[in-house]
Chains A and B, each alone.
Chain A
Amino acid sequence: MNTTAKRIYYIPYMLWILLFVIAPVALIVYQSFFNLDHQATIQNYVTYLTSSTYLRMTLNSFWYAFLITLFTVLISYPAALFLNQLKHKDFWLLLIILPTWINLLLKAYAFIGIFAQNGSVNQFLGFIGIGPKQILFTDFSFIFVATYIEIPFMILPIYNAIAEIDPALLTASRDLGATNWQTLIRVILPLTRKGITAGVQAVFIPSLSLFMLTRLIGGNRVITLGTAIEEHFLTTMNWGMGSTIGVVLIIMMFISMALTGEHKRKRKEIDTGATKE
């Protein structure tokens, strides 16, 4: 009785997973083995692996995603530390989450206004005598806007990880003579590794396939795998090739999950080791 009731509760969840996770992935994998003439082939993968265009695009995607993730970590970690020391932390955290409630497209358009030739940044540069610079359609503007958009997803897990630290540990560290810097490096950082990992996963993987920003902010001077997928599905109608790139992205996602997952295991060993002592 108890087990059947439990099973019934699982049904919606199972259905969800089946319909919205397993079925789409299976369809994409299936599609990726067909060419334009609807013949089964592995040609798409051969094309992908032998074309310098796609390989360079993959490299681009990785490089930009890496930069975006790096900058979000560099900004978010100190910000999360700082937030945890404030009086009304929940309020400040809310302010950081707030922009995620605004549509991505609107934010992108706002940045066009800020970075444009007659935009506020260039007006300021002109005012202080540097003169207008080309900001829009550069690597800088693309990474800047992408970082801005991803920051909340990095701050949240790090913030939670820091908030979970037992204050007694920090007091102990100080009592044993550690400086603030040593406490940060030796105590806080290892204890928040899980938060950083979660944040990196939440930022790196979506960054791999950013495509709208590449056009609106990057002016298509920045091309990632997302751009290629969009093009194959909407203009070329070559769904096979688009799916192939999709499969490649999914594989990359699993690889990055596996890589970051390892840290978790290590951390556990360290933890249990510490408690044993």
Chain B
Amino acid sequence: MKKLMSFFIAIVAACLLLTVGIKRLESAQGDSSAKTLNLFNWGDYIDPALIKKFEKETGYQVNYETFDSNEAMLTKIQQGGTSYDLAVPSDYTIEKMKKEHLLLPLDKKQIKGLGNIDPSFMNKSFDPDNRYSIPYFWGTLGIIYNDKFVKADQIQHWRDLWNPEFAHSIMLVDSARDILGFSLVKNGDSMNTRSRAQVTRAKDDLDKLAPNVKAIVADEIKMYMIQNEAKIAVTWSGEASEMLSNNSHLHYVVPTEGSNLWFDNLVIPKTAKHFKAIYAFLNFMLRPENAKQNALYVGYATPNDKAKALLPKDVRNDKQFYPPTDTIGKLQVYEDLGLKTVGMYNDLFLEFKMHRS
């Protein structure tokens, strides 16, 4: 009993000590000082060398905090505990944050280099006139195949997925709008349709795809494709670039008939405090040489036209991640469809998952 008590006390004491230590460390880092910038970003989504360069150039100190999902980021900003100065949400989340009044409009007068951004990535439905956001990276939804098992000409379009040859060999990302989305595109419908008939038709087609589907998973797709577990996968270009760099047999295709176009944009949440630092950072990141360095590090497609021109030729001309202009013209950005329609998509997707042939 005595032993148990002392064990118990030791644990409590250790916890107390750690708490005190953490508090000390946090106050030592001092996010109250005016010379800081609190950047809230996805993990490993900026070249650390750029942060160092920015700190040296401007004297601001950058606190880099990470999140792993739009929803997690949204919750943290809603709670407003930390004074995040800049965040990098995806398109539909920007629309949501806008509706919930969580964003501050950009002061365009203080921003230099907005003209570097390709106009085709500006003024999108989720943020008309880019009042709140600056494109940071963009990407697509597409098909990854392993050239050990599949020939390139076998898989160029969404309808190729239905080829009976691919029985039991396709992995899908577990996301209702993306999966129903490509089925909609195959039928020539909009990925943002609210028509129950169209979405139901897309779902019925997916049911016919079921024999080819090996699994419907999330992040694990990366691991499985790298390990040659499946021949084909449907997922986002960001995930794809990571897979491709780990397995040279993998290739990424954006079907020319259309697909999803997604954005991760820089925004100023309403928790922001250090406005000088914010605009210094935005201008720093808009500079072509910096955007180029970042694109090379992260491996995603940069919306910064001048930065793209600076990229090595094999990157710049890589059709996998910089699809040709006429394909880009057919890409669709997701709109926030509202809870009811999203619910319909999800119910139908659930039905597809239940379907067994």
Interface status of B107 (Cβ within 8 A of chain A): no
Residue ID in chain B nearest A36 by CB atoms: B339
B215 in complex: contacting residue of A57, A137, A228, A232, CB < 8 Å: A137
Residue ID in chain A nearest B223 by CB atoms: A112
Q: How far is the CB of B169 from chain A (nearest CB, A)?
A: 10
Among B248-295, those with CB < 8 Å from A are none
By CB atoms of chain B within 10 A, which of A118, A137, A223, A237 has the most?
A: A137
**Contact of A237 with B214 at beta-carbon distance under 8 Å, contacts A53-B350, A112-B220 already known:** no
Residue ID in chain A nearest B344 by CB atoms: A236
Interface status of A75 (Cβ within 8 A of chain B): no
User: What mask results when residues 25 to 49 of chain A are scored 1 for a CB within 8 Å of chain B, else 0?
Assistant: 0000000000010000000000000
Q: How large is the interface on B (under 10, 10 to 19, 20 to 34, 35 or more residues)?
A: 20 to 34
A53 lies within 8 A of B218 (CB): no
Interface status of A134 (Cβ within 8 A of chain B): yes
Among B191-227, those with CB < 8 Å from A are 213-218, 220, 223-224, 227
B354 lies within 8 A of A219 (CB): no
Among B142-174, those with CB < 8 Å from A are 168, 171, 174
A117 lies within 8 A of B228 (CB): yes
Residue ID in chain B nearest A215 by CB atoms: B217
Bound-state CA distance A241–B171 (Å) is 28
Bound-state CA distance A60–B353 (Å) is 13
B342 lies within 8 A of A236 (CB): yes
- A57 contacts which chain B residues (CB < 8 A)? 354
A231 lies within 8 A of B228 (CB): no
A56 lies within 8 A of B354 (CB): yes
A219 lies within 8 A of B229 (CB): no
**Contact of A237 with B339 at beta-carbon distance under 8 Å, contacts A223-B353, A223-B354 already known:** yes
Bound-state CA distance A60–B350 (Å) is 14
- A137 contacts which chain B residues (CB < 8 A)? 214-215
Interface status of B71 (Cβ within 8 A of chain A): yes
**Contact of A220 with B342 at beta-carbon distance under 8 Å, contacts A215-B217, A234-B71 already known:** no
Among B110-134, those with CB < 8 Å from A are none
User: What mask results when residues 225 to 238 of chain A are scored 1 for a CB within 8 Å of chain B, else 0?
Assistant: 00110011011111
A215 in complex: contacting residue of B174, B228, B340, B354, CB < 8 Å: B174
A216 lies within 8 A of B220 (CB): yes
Bound-state CA distance A60–B174 (Å) is 20
Residue ID in chain A nearest B215 by CB atoms: A219
- B218 contacts which chain A residues (CB < 8 A)? 215
- B228 contacts which chain A residues (CB < 8 A)? 117-118
- Told that A60-B354, A117-B227, A137-B214 touch, could you supply 11 new A-B pairs with CB distance under 8 A? A36-B339, A36-B340, A53-B350, A53-B354, A117-B229, A136-B229, A219-B217, A221-B215, A227-B350, A235-B346, A236-B346
B residues within 8 Å of A by Cβ? 71, 168, 171, 174, 176, 213-218, 220, 223-224, 227-229, 339-340, 342-343, 346-347, 350-351, 353-354, 356
**Pairs A-B, 5 closest by C-beta atoms:** A219-B215, A220-B216, A236-B346, A137-B215, A117-B229
Pick 24 A–B contacts, CB within 8 A, sort by A: A36-B339, A36-B340, A56-B354, A57-B354, A112-B223, A116-B227, A116-B229, A117-B229, A137-B214, A215-B174, A219-B171, A219-B215, A220-B353, A221-B216, A221-B356, A223-B353, A231-B346, A232-B346, A235-B176, A235-B346, A236-B339, A236-B347, A237-B339, A238-B339
